[in-house]
Every structure is written in C-alpha cells, then in structure tokens.
Amino acid sequence: MILQVTVGCSHNRCSFCSMYLRKKFRVRELEEIYYDIDYAANLNRNIRRIFLADGNSLTMGTDRLLSILEKLYSSFPFLERVSSYTNPQDLLEKSVEELKSLKESGLTLVYLGVETGNEEILNKINKGVTREEMIEAAVKAKEAEMQLSVTVINGLGEEEMMFEHARDTSTLLNRVEPEYLGVLTLMVAPGTPLAKQVQKGEFKTLSSRQVLEEIEIMIKHIDLSGCIFRSNHASNYLPLKGTLSEDAGELLSLIDRVLRGGETHRLRPESFRGL
Ligand code: SF4
C-alpha cells in the first residue's frame, strides 16, 4: 500500500527530476493520515508492505513518523515492512539514534537517490549535497541498520565526464555498501532545468553505446558483496540484473558481447524507453 504522508519533495531542485515539479511540498496533517490508515485497514487488514509517499517522508519530525509507524503496525497485524524514499539532507538532519528508533519501529528500508558519486556532477545537477555529505547520509542509514536501496543515473556526466562519473560513483558505493543498487539511464523530462540545458545545447545525452560503456566502467570499479543489482528499468537500454560483485564477470561478459560482439539486438529501441 502507498500511504501519502507528505506531498511532493522538500528539495525539488534536482535538474533532471520532474517527479514533483508541479506539487507544492507539504506535510499532511496527522488526522488526515490516520483517517487514511483506518480507511485502508477497514478494507484490508492483511497488507504486508507499506510505502510512505511522496518524495521524502523522512523530512517529517521523528516523533510524528514514530506515531505513524505505531498506528500502521497496530492497524495491520501482518505488516512486515514500511519503506520510504529519503533525501540525503533528511538523513543528515536526523541523528543515528533517531534513525535507529525509526528502524526499530518498523521503517526498515529507505530508498536514496545518490545519482552520482562525482562532486562536480552533484553540484551541476543541484543535488544539494557534496559527495562526502552523500556518503555520510547513507552511512547513517546503515548505522541505524536500515536496509539501503540506492539509485544512480547513467549519463549525468555527459561524454566528457563518463569515466569520472562511473569511477566516483563506484567508489562511493564501495564505501556505502548498499543492499540494493538500481542503475537508471538519464531521460530528459520536459519542463526540467535539464531539458532547457539540452535545448540550448549546454548538455548532451549519451548514446546507448556510451551508456553501456559507462555501466561497464562502473561494474569494473564496484567492489561489493551481496548487493542486489538491477538495471532493468524502462529507461535502460540493456536490461541487467545480478548480485554485485559476485555476478560482475557475467554482467561484464554480456555488456562486452553487446558492445564488441555484435549482439546489439539486445538493446531496447529508443522509442521503447520510458520513465
Ligand atoms: S531527485 Fe529526489 S530529491 Fe531530487 S527533486 Fe527529485 S524527488 Fe526531490
């Protein structure tokens, strides 16, 4: 079940993101949220997984979040997991003790958009944090023993910074050790600052071949164990999945066959890509 506890994203300034462009950020009233929980529980008490929407519910005060979690676990007796997106800023603002109390109250998984591990690109896309702050935020979630799922985006460094983007993202991931890693491919969403940069010729997207080269560099530099890796989102040219770094050889071999062995039929056509 998706439970809306906030509306929009409190940051809402990443240059590529159109998710909440038209939504003014606000935290919903507790009464409204409780009403929704009661309504859903009356319909189906057997729900096992709940996601707190929208973009960053962790921006709410810890006490408020704890009350919501308590209400959820008492309303749904079979509830196993509550998860949420988080901004790095939200993790930085909470203490590890606060995050631990949230984890112990059932917020067991957070999704963090890392996007890139490169300092210059983080700045260009207006992520609002430095590389070290991103690492600190992710490590805090890990210290609180929350499961961490991160996403990174291929193509953010354009052609000039392909290598730096891939390498620095991998070294960041190595320090953070997420349980889940999702790799998306940049799509230019209308209405975003990035779309304007593309229009003015200030930003160039990568070809499908370059995107694969970038993923190849990334996988070569990743040194993890048991990280569930997915690059099979509709934005990706080549669907990939495995466990890193255990399956790195297999993944690299597939990429190599597409890049250099003529298996280009495996690539998703541009018109089939979507967000
Ligand atoms: S990418 Fe995440 S943090 Fe950035 S504007 Fe979009 S929802 Fe907000």
Domain extents in the chain:
2-272
Query: Looking at ligand 1, which atom is closest to the CA of residue 127?
Result: 4
Q: CA separation (Å) from 128 to 124, 141, 215?
A: 10, 18, 25
Please state, as a whole number, how many other Cβ atoms lie within 10 Å of the Cβ of residue 258.
19
Tell me which residue has tokens 């000039």: 160
Q: List, for residues 37-61, the tens digit of each pLDDT value.
A: 999 999 999 999 999 999 999 999 9
Rg (CA), the chain: 19
Beta-sheet pairing, 26-27 with 227-231: unpaired
What CA–CA distance (Å, rounded) separates 219 from 252?
7
Measured from the CA of 17, which atom of ligand 1 is nearest? 6
Mean pLDDT, residues 235-257: 95
Kindly report, residue by residue over 170-204, the tens digit of the pLDDT.
Answer: 999 999 999 999 999 999 999 999 999 999 999 99
Give the pLDDT confidence score for residue 199 in this predicted structure.
97
The pLDDT > 90 percentage for the chain reads: 93
Q: Closest Cα to atom 6, ligand 1: which residue?
A: 17
Distance between CA 183 and CA 170 in Å, rounded?
A: 11
Q: How far is the CA of 104 from the centre of ligand 1 (A)?
A: 26
Beta bridge partners of 49: 81
Instruction: Output the CA 12–ligand 1 centroid distance in Å.
Output: 5
Q: Identify the residues whose C-beta falls under 6 Å from ligand 1.
A: 9, 11-14, 17, 19-20, 55, 87, 113
Mean pLDDT score, 148-154? 97
- Residue 18, classified by CB atoms within 10 Å of its CB into exposed (0-12), middle (13-18) or buried (19+), is middle
pLDDT band at 30 (very low <50, low <70, confident <90, very high): very high
Residue from 6, 15, 16, 19 whose mutation best tests the ligand 1 pocket (most atoms within 8 A of CB) = 19
Rounded to 10°, the helix 248-260/208-221 angle is 150
pLDDT at residue 272, rounded to an integer = 78
CATH superfamily of domain region 2-272: Aldolase class I (3.20.20.70)
